Amino acid sequence: MKITRAEVAHVAHLARLTFGEEEMDKFTSQLNDILLYMEKLNSVDTTGVEPMTHATVLHNAFREDAVKPSLSNEQSLANAPDPRGEFFRVPKVIE
Amino acid sequence: MEFEPVIGLEVHAQLRSDSKIFCSCSTQFGAGPNTHTCPVCLGMPGVLPILNRKVVEFTIKMALATHCRINRENSFARKNYFYPDLPKGYQISQYAYPLAEAGGIEVEGDENRKCIGITRIHMEEDAGKLIHDEHFPASYVDLNRTGVPLIEIVSEPDIRSAEEAAAYLRRIHEILVYLEICDGNMEEGSFRCDANVSLRPRGQEEFGTRAELKNMNSFRNVQRALEYEIKRQQYVLEAGGEVIQETRLWDDAQGVTISMRGKEEAHDYRYFPDPDLVTIVISDAWIEEIRGTMPELPLEKRERFLRDYQIPPYDAGVLTASRALADYYEEVVRLCGQPKVASNWVMGDILRFLKEDKRDIRDCPIPAASLAEMIRLIEDGAISGKMAKEVSEEMYRTGKPPQTVITEKGLVQITDAGALAAVIAEIMAANPTQLAQYRGGKDKLFGFFVGQVMKATQGKANPQLINDLLKKMLP
């Protein structure tokens, strides 16, 4: 097994997802299959190959430091389910 | 048992770019809530971040100033967690491949100057701001700060006391401000610091369990929080207890650190390379170009001031506290040629005036040229040091040049020996008793005559000349 049911539960919790027992079994099995498939990559000999973070050779895509108009407050809040005044409102969180 | 504190600091510094790190929204502080926001920084689906070149340049500057190795290839990663001030559900940061690593700066340590290592400097985006409702279970979110560029500067655990930590922070702050890449405003959160602190028995190699301190918003608070935390851990260890690895918040009002235990979940950020942002490749040519724009740094400047101006280390420290102040001082010296006198005036009257008005040296109403001219007038004997005090106050109040102030106030020093001798003769005639006593050996009365002359001339007489004449005429 590449992944345990407990690990799936942990990842689900981090993603704030709740699953039923059956779903947990199904996802554990599916994730396991995916990871096993990805495992095949380990058979490739990568000796002397530098690690890379991207598949593209493109680099340094920059913009200049110039301010452009932002959205208005109304536009920014347009999709908010519970705006109050000029703010997004969310359930109280205190770290 | 004697314990040794081991401290490492993490500094978050907001960079002074005009626009955010990945979008073109303004970074200006103090705008109306949620008005410096766009689809990119609001975390809308389908948008693409594009890196601000200036953010990379500023970070390279800091890397050069702190003697770091610049990683020619570096890249961004996603740090995943849920919090309402983070609309995308992840923060774009650098993780495995930061821009700079393995540097260090010199600070004045407990005994002498020492090098504090810098583990890494990386770029990342700031989160938004939460305002908690006092009466209702809700929080209000302002996303203006979301995407404002930050650099995180992580020190090695090389710091051994709260004082050293404060000294390190002051240096980092000073360098950032000198480089003009961060405004350094701690109240507005442009410069923030977290600390990791642990104790170990003196002589022991391995580190003890550490606590992470947060919420310290001034140099003083960092020092106080560390002092408190060191004592707290010492009591725990001396009582045979164990320090728990945890995050603790500094409570300024109570002067204590408070555990956040229970509210904290184990962090599991699942970092992975951000596919939206391509690799950053930094060429030697780019680094050299940036190196060419680097200003003289505070420590170098301080040493040059000591060498070139022969002023005391204290003066050099005060005068190089900011680039603008150092520039002002150097301009005054250039024009009057008297480094120590100039230092006395700048550190004394000028800084006092500015402090009273909470003004920056850049807004000083006395131009460097006026101060230099005033110093020359004292040197030439045109005005006395005492008059100069009055002149400087008036110059500060009105912004007028010293000659104008002197003329307007009739503050011309009497340097005509003949005229002054006449005044002295009159005073001697008017005070025969004191004169007789003085001649009878009561030397202290010399001061009485100086006072009388000053009074008669409304303080305009050159004090040196009065002394010389009295010494000649009284006996």
Under a CB-based contact definition with an 8 Å cutoff, are residues B129 and B100 in contact? no
C-beta atoms of B273 and A59 within 8 A: no
Q: Is B24 on the interface with A (CB under 8 A)?
A: yes
Chain B residues touching residue A54 (CB < 8 angstroms) = 75, 273, 275, 278-279
* Residue B138: inside a domain: yes
Q: Is residue B149 domain-shared with residue B236, that is, in the same domain?
A: yes
- Residue to substitute from A13, A50, A71, interface B, most B β-carbons within 10 A: A71
SS3 state at B380: coil
Q: Is residue B122 domain-shared with residue B181, that is, in the same domain?
A: yes
Q: Is residue B323 domain-shared with residue B395, that is, in the same domain?
A: yes
* Residue B310: inside a domain: yes
Q: Which residues of B312-410 form beta strands (DSSP E)?
A: none
pLDDT at B348: 84
Query: Parallel, antiparallel, or unpaired: how do β-strands B51-52 and A62-63 relate?
Result: parallel
C-beta atoms of B277 and A64 within 8 A: no
pLDDT at B168: 94
For residue B469, which amino acid is it?
L
| Residue A88 exposed, middle or buried by CB count within 10 Å (0-12, 13-18, 19+) | buried
Residue of B nearest to A63 (CA): B52
C-beta atoms of A88 and B84 within 8 A: yes
* Residue B292: inside a domain: no
Q: Is residue B280 domain-shared with residue B358, that is, in the same domain?
A: no
DSSP type of residue B161: S
Closest-CA distance of chain B to residue A55, Å: 9
pLDDT at B264: 47
CA distance B61 to B295: 10
* Residue B80: inside a domain: yes
CA distance B179 to B58: 8
* Residue B293: inside a domain: no
CA distance B235 to B425: 77
Q: Is residue B105 domain-shared with residue B211, that is, in the same domain?
A: yes
C-beta atoms of B53 and A64 within 8 A: yes
pLDDT at B110: 61
* Helix, strand, coil % over all residues of chain B, rounded to 5: 40, 20, 40
CA distance B48 to B40: 7
Size of interface A-B (CB pairs under 8 A): 132
User: pLDDT tens, A41-51?
Assistant: 889 998 998 87
Report the candidate in B230, B224, B239 with the shortest Cα–Cα distance to residue B198. B230
Query: B93: which strand partners?
Result: B77
Q: Is residue B387 domain-shared with residue B447, that is, in the same domain?
A: no
Range of the domain at B428: 417-473
pLDDT at B261: 63
pLDDT at B474: 78
Chain B residues touching residue A53 (CB < 8 angstroms) = 75, 77, 96-97, 273, 279
Backbone torsions φ then ψ of B223, nearest 5 degrees? -65, -45
Q: Is residue B311 domain-shared with residue B446, that is, in the same domain?
A: no
Sign of the CA dihedral running B107, B110, B116, B122: negative
CA distance B361 to B324: 7
Per the structure, the count of domains in chain B is 3
* Residue A11: inside a domain: yes
Q: How many CB atoms are located within 10 Å of the residue B201 CB?
A: 11
Global pTM reads 0.78
Nearest CB to B278; choose among A54, A67, A93? A54
Chain A residues touching residue B140 (CB < 8 angstroms) = 84-85, 87-90
Q: Is residue B343 domain-shared with residue B426, that is, in the same domain?
A: no
DSSP type of residue B362: G
Per the structure, the count of domains in chain A is 1
Reading chain B (475 residues) residue by residue, the pLDDT tens digits are: 788 999 999 999 999 999 999 999 999 988 999 999 999 999 999 999 999 999 999 999 999 999 999 999 999 999 998 889 999 999 999 999 999 999 999 887 666 788 999 999 999 999 999 988 888 888 999 999 999 999 999 999 999 999 999 999 999 999 999 999 999 988 888 999 999 999 988 888 888 888 888 888 888 889 999 999 999 999 888 888 888 888 888 888 888 888 876 444 557 888 999 999 999 999 999 999 999 999 999 888 988 988 898 888 888 888 898 888 999 998 888 888 888 888 888 888 888 888 888 888 888 888 888 888 888 878 877 777 778 877 777 788 888 887 777 777 776 666 677 777 778 888 888 888 888 888 888 888 888 888 888 887 777 777 777 888 888 887 7
Q: Which of residues 66-105 of B touch A (CB under 8 A)?
A: 73, 75, 77, 80, 82-84, 96-97
CA distance B24 to B332: 41
Chain B residues touching residue A61 (CB < 8 angstroms) = 50-51, 277-278
Under a CB-based contact definition with an 8 Å cutoff, are residues B176 and B125 in contact? no
CA distance B331 to B366: 12
CA distance B29 to B262: 34
* Residue B45: inside a domain: yes
Sign of the CA dihedral running B439, B443, B448, B450: positive
Nearest CB to B278; choose among A58, A70, A72? A58
Under a CB-based contact definition with an 8 Å cutoff, are residues A89 and B139 in contact? yes
* Those residues with Cβ within 8 angstroms of residue B74's Cβ, 6 or more apart along the chain or in another chain: B94, B97, B98, B99, B122, B279, B280, B282
Residue of A nearest to B17 (CA): A65
* Residue A90: inside a domain: no
Q: Is residue B93 domain-shared with residue B75, that is, in the same domain?
A: yes
* Residue A58: inside a domain: no
Q: Which of residues 47-66 of B touch A (CB under 8 A)?
A: 50-56
Q: Is residue B173 domain-shared with residue B150, that is, in the same domain?
A: yes
CA distance B202 to B237: 13
Q: Is residue B253 domain-shared with residue B327, that is, in the same domain?
A: no
C-beta atoms of A86 and B138 within 8 A: no
* Residue A23: inside a domain: yes
* Residue A10: inside a domain: yes
Q: Is residue B58 domain-shared with residue B165, that is, in the same domain?
A: yes
Q: Which of residues 68-87 of A touch B (CB under 8 A)?
A: 68, 70-73, 76-77, 84-87
Range of the domain at A14: 5-43
Residue of B nearest to A93 (CA): B139
- Supply the CATH number for residue A17's domain: 1.10.20
